Amino acid sequence: MALKLMLASAIAMAARSAPYVVAPPRGKSFVAHSSDHLPMKSTPINPDWIVSGDPQARTAEHSRGHDDAALTALWDCTAGEFRWFFGWDETVMILEGEVHITAEDGTERMLRAGDVAFFAGGTWASWRVDNYVRKVAFLRKPFPKPVALAYRLRNLLRSGGQQGLAA
């Protein structure tokens, strides 16, 4: 543990002393589409996750970060109930319809058009779609723990301790 902390501190110090330069993006730097015109492709839900019904899901990739650590997609699904594993951190905004969510801790919430929710990577949630739901999803791969700690320490050092480790 002490070695990891020392490594994270060294990385944070190096990051602080290196000049902050934003490299020009590779590929497209701006992507815009009408959500109604993106081609939706069938993305079947894992049959082992389905609790009831015959939910049919589709996805359209809107954009992807240049480092492949972020993705924006549209997703829709017909009626059914299923469990879902979030491999990445995911923020969703419901565009149409509604879904009943039950988180791992038992928290229940109905999400409707306009609602925004966050699901941490590595967690499960139960989804019950009574008719139809359509969402935009913003996905981000979480950093490995040592890198995340180094990043937080760098931010702490840059802010002079004003924002804390969570900044």
Q: What's the pLDDT tens digit per position in 10-19?
A: 454 444 444 4
For the chain, domains (ranges, CATH) are 39-140 (2.60.120.10)
Q: How far is CA 68 from CA 7, 42, 86, 139, in A?
A: 25, 22, 17, 10
User: What is the pTM for the complete model shown?
Assistant: 0.72
Per-residue pLDDT of the chain (167 residues; tens, 9 = 90+): 555 544 445 454 444 444 433 344 456 676 676 667 789 999 999 999 999 999 999 999 999 888 888 999 999 999 999 999 999 999 999 999 999 999 999 999 999 999 999 999 999 999 999 999 999 999 999 878 888 788 788 888 887 766 554 54
For tokens 């993106």, what's the residue? Answer: 38
Gap between the Cα atoms of 71 and 129, Å rounded: 24
DSSP assigned state of 121? T
Strands, E, within 3-161: which ranges?
41-42, 50-53, 57-64, 70-86, 89-103, 108-112, 116-119, 123-140
User: Of the candidates 59, 67, 68, which has an alpha carbon nearest to the alpha carbon of residue 137?
Assistant: 59
For residue 97 the two structure tokens come to 């319809």
Q: How far is CA 52 from CA 26, 83, 104, 119, 128, in A?
A: 44, 10, 18, 22, 9
Q: What's the pLDDT tens digit per position in 119-149?
A: 999 999 999 999 999 999 999 998 788 887 8
Helix (H, G, I), strand (E, B) or coil at 21: coil
